[in-house]
């Protein structure tokens, strides 16, 4: 078994994302798959271990039937001295979301002036900025932070810590973050240090709001990029922990789930301020009217 690289050209960002989704879905154990802009358009790269490159090619072309030109798919063995994970990360172009730019270490020196760079590497924790839900949250936060001053911020389900770090760097104020996965908490704290926010971001391992650092506290901004069902289940706890007038940013929600999530939060006294949609995903910005 050896390493192979699949390469598929695309005409635009939407097409590249569609191709990437199809490739990830075609393989039981997908390696890193990235889509990125090139000089002449867009492209998708995938890195896989396999016994036979032709078998990979056949599977990929079948998955792309009706989506892309199957003849344009190529597969090449990766030289043994190439770090396939590092090479895949090179394909992750910076993502701009409002005032924020999420980037890897390889793009650290290329952040446009006036924007806030967030260095997040692809690893075990969710949140590199390339997913529409992370993009939606950062876009929503960029708008909120340009208008309001928040004193007490909580990032529930922090993943890579990208949202907590973004708020901390933008406001220069402390942010509390949590995740149910202790590994994610560890990664979030490492990312906070990498981004110069270690003195501002506190992260704890917790399911929902169940942690001594959270219980009894109220926040004027709560961010939660998790999933629709847990959000609905936790909606009463959002009310308990929200100050009057608090802003709440919710994501990890499919467009088809947005109304049911909104209904659950309306029942707790929240009103909708914005609904950001990208691809099949929704980000809701709510205000607590209680």
Per-residue pLDDT tens for 99-121? 888 887 767 777 777 789 898 87
| Confidence band of 269 (pLDDT split at 50, 70, 90) | very high
Residue 73 has pLDDT above 80, yes or no: yes
| pLDDT tens digits along 111-154 | 777 789 898 876 544 555 567 888 899 999 999 998 899 999 99
Per the confidence metrics, is the pTM higher than 0.85? no
In this structure, are residues 283 and 140 in contact, taking their beta carbons and an 8 Å threshold? Answer: yes
Residue 224 has pLDDT above 80, yes or no: yes
Torsion angle of C-alpha atoms 232, 124, 12, 249, degrees rounded to 10: 30
Q: Which residue has the tokens 């959270």?
A: 214
Torsion angle of C-alpha atoms 178, 180, 183, 187, degrees rounded to 10: -30
φ, ψ for residue 21, nearest 5 deg: -60, -40
- CA-only gyration radius of the chain, Å: 20
φ, ψ for residue 134, nearest 5 deg: -65, -45
Question: What's the pLDDT at 196?
Answer: 96
């Amino acid at each position: 078994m050896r390493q192979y690289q699949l390469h598929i050209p695309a005409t635009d960002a939407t097409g590249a994302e569609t191709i990437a989704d199809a490739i990830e879905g075609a393989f039981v154990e997908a390696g890193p798959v990235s889509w990125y802009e090139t000089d002449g358009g867009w492209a998708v790269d995938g890195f896989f271990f396999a016994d036979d490159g032709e078998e990979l090619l056949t599977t990929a072309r079948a998955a792309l039937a009706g989506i892309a030109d199957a003849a344009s798919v190529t597969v090449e063995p990766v030289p043994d001295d190439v770090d396939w994970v590092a090479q895949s990360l090179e394909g992750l172009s910076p993502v701009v979301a409002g005032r924020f730019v999420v980037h890897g270490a390889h793009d650290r020196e290329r952040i446009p002036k006036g924007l806030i760079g967030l260095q997040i590497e692809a690893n075990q924790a969710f949140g590199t900025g390339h997913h529409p839900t992370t993009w939606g949250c950062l876009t929503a936060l960029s708008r909120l932070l340009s208008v309001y001053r928040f004193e007490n911020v909580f990032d529930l389900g922090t993943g890579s810590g990208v949202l907590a770090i973004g708020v901390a760097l933008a406001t220069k104020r402390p942010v509390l973050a949590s995740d149910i996965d202790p590994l994610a908490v560890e990664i979030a704290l490492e990312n906070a240090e990498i981004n110069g926010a270690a003195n501002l971001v506190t992260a704890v391992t917790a399911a929902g709001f169940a942690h001594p650092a959270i219980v009894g506290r109220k926040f004027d901004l709560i961010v939660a990029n998790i999933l629709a069902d847990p959000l609905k289940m936790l909606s009463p706890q959002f009310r308990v922990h929200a100050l009057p007038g608090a802003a709440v940013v919710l994501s990890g929600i499919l467009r088809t789930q947005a109304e049911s999530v909104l209904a659950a939060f309306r029942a707790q006294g929240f009103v909708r301020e914005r609904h950001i949609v990208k691809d099949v995903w929704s980000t809701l910005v709510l205000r607590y009217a209680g």
